[in-house]
Structures are given as structure tokens and as C-alpha cells.
Amino acid sequence: MFIVGLTGGLATGKSTVLSIFRENGIAVIDADEVARKVLDPGSKAWKEVKKIFGEQVLCPDGKVNRAKLGEMIFDDINKRRKLNAITHPKIQRAMMQMAVKYFFSGHRYIVMEVPLLFETGKMLTFMHKIITVICEDHQQLERLCKRNDFSVAIAKKRISCQMPLEDKVAKSDFVIDNAGDLNSTRHQTLCIIRMLKRSKFTWYFTALVYIGLISLVLGAINITYKLLGTTN
């Protein structure tokens, strides 16, 4: 099994592409979904966020108000670093645990959606291939304003905090242009799925894992026989 990283900019359509992979039976891991679970009320991360940022970042039902928290940390780099220190390690650990489960379930590969894949750089080592989802600049701005109810000024500021899309494209193996309609995006995604199916890397990786497991078993048996020989 190998991991395909899916990234892009804010509101470029990463979730749309991820849903197409999911529809086609591909195992997927959504970083945003994992982040929500990590911050479930009562969790360790939730308690730490509540302690550092106060009750004001909680909704009446106890869940973290992500919009409020985002506003609080966006213009304060120290607060942003504190939040990242709390959540990022836990999110990454949970995602890798999910990847291991998918491996032992027999999946050839998984698609892992990581919005800040290039910005943080911490998950890059695990990616065999990388897909970046793009759209036109004006579309990204319009979509973000509509989705998050941002003003144009705030949306532009949020977008500017991420790596420019052209830089992400230069570092990627595949690019999906989500500027058109859903059929166009689906067609591009299906083409990539066909290419990934032809990849031989999964067989090499699987073979190495099984060889490693067999070596461990044989080594354990050999040690057992030696110990039995010394006791006899």
C-alpha cells in the first residue's frame, strides 16, 4: 500500500475531489474530519484548548467553535503556534493510525487530504504521490467568501497565508483543475485513479512488509530454538 497526498488552497475543491475518490471505492482520510474528532468534547486536546483559550471558544453544546477559534488565532502568531502544538501531533498520529488500519484491510493505496501538506512539511515523507487541486484566483476568492461568510478583505488575507498555488503545483505529481464543472473534475480524478491502479509500487511495498514480518517470525523461532537448546 502507498499514500497519495491530496492538497490545494482554501476553497479550491479538495473535498469535492476527495468525495470522488470515496465514490470509487478508494480509502480516504480527511484531515478536517480527523481534526474535529481530535477536538471532541472531553478529549485531551479539547481540555488543553479550553484551558488555554477559555470558555469563549466553546459552543453551548461544549464543542469547539472553530470559526471563533480561527478568528482568535489568525492575527496572533503565538496563539496559532500554541494551537498547532496541541492539535497537529494528535491529528497526524490519528491519520497514520488510520492508514495502518487501511493497510491491514488490504487496500492498494489511500488518499490522504492534508490542506497544509507543503506548509508544515511534516507529512511529506509518507507521500508516494501528491495531487494539488486548483481553480482560478477569482473563483477561490468567491467560493471562500460564500462558504465562510468572509468579507473579500478577510478572504484575501486568509488565502495569502498559504503557499501560492503555483508553488504547490510545481511540487506535485498530479494537478486537478477544479475551475470547470463537476463532470470535468470527475473526469480528471478518474484519469488519476486509472494511473494509480497501474502503479507497481504497492507490490514492492507489500512485499517488503511481508518479508520483514517473515524475517521477524523466523528470527523469533531461531532464538526460541537456541534458548531451548541451552536449557536441554
Return per-residue pLDDT of the chain as tens, 232 residues.
899 999 999 999 999 999 999 999 999 999 999 999 999 999 999 999 999 999 999 999 999 999 899 889 988 889 999 999 999 999 999 999 999 899 889 888 999 999 999 999 989 999 999 999 999 999 999 999 999 999 999 999 999 989 999 999 999 999 999 999 999 999 999 999 999 988 765 544 554 444 455 555 566 555 655 555 554 5
My answer on whether 5 and 70 are in the same domain is no
My answer on whether 139 and 91 are in the same domain is no
CA 79 to chain centre: 22
Element (H, E) at 113: strand 109-113
My answer on whether 77 and 191 are in the same domain is no
Q: How many domains does the chain have?
A: 3
My answer on whether 73 and 93 are in the same domain is yes
My answer on whether 49 and 7 are in the same domain is no
My answer on whether 9 and 121 are in the same domain is yes
* CATH number of the domain within which 91 lies: 3.40.50.300
Q: How far is the CA of 99 from the CAs of 3, 84, 172, in angstroms?
A: 8, 22, 21
Give the separation between CA 160 and CA 166, rounded to whole angstroms.
13
Contact between 110 and 199 (Cβ < 8 Å): no
Contact between 129 and 5 (Cβ < 8 Å): yes
Give the separation between CA 18 and CA 226, rounded to whole angstroms.
52
Closest CA to 4 of 197, 138, 184: 197
Could you tell me where the beta strands, DSSP code E, fall in the chain? Answer: 2-8, 27-30, 109-113, 129-134, 174-177
My answer on whether 61 and 18 are in the same domain is no
My answer on whether 125 and 218 are in the same domain is no
Point out the domain boundary residue: 105, 137, 152: 105
**Is 78 exposed, middle or buried, given 0-12, 13-18 or 19+ CB atoms closer than 10 A?**
exposed
Which structural domain range is residue 231 located in? 201-232
My answer on whether 85 and 190 are in the same domain is no
My answer on whether 111 and 189 are in the same domain is yes
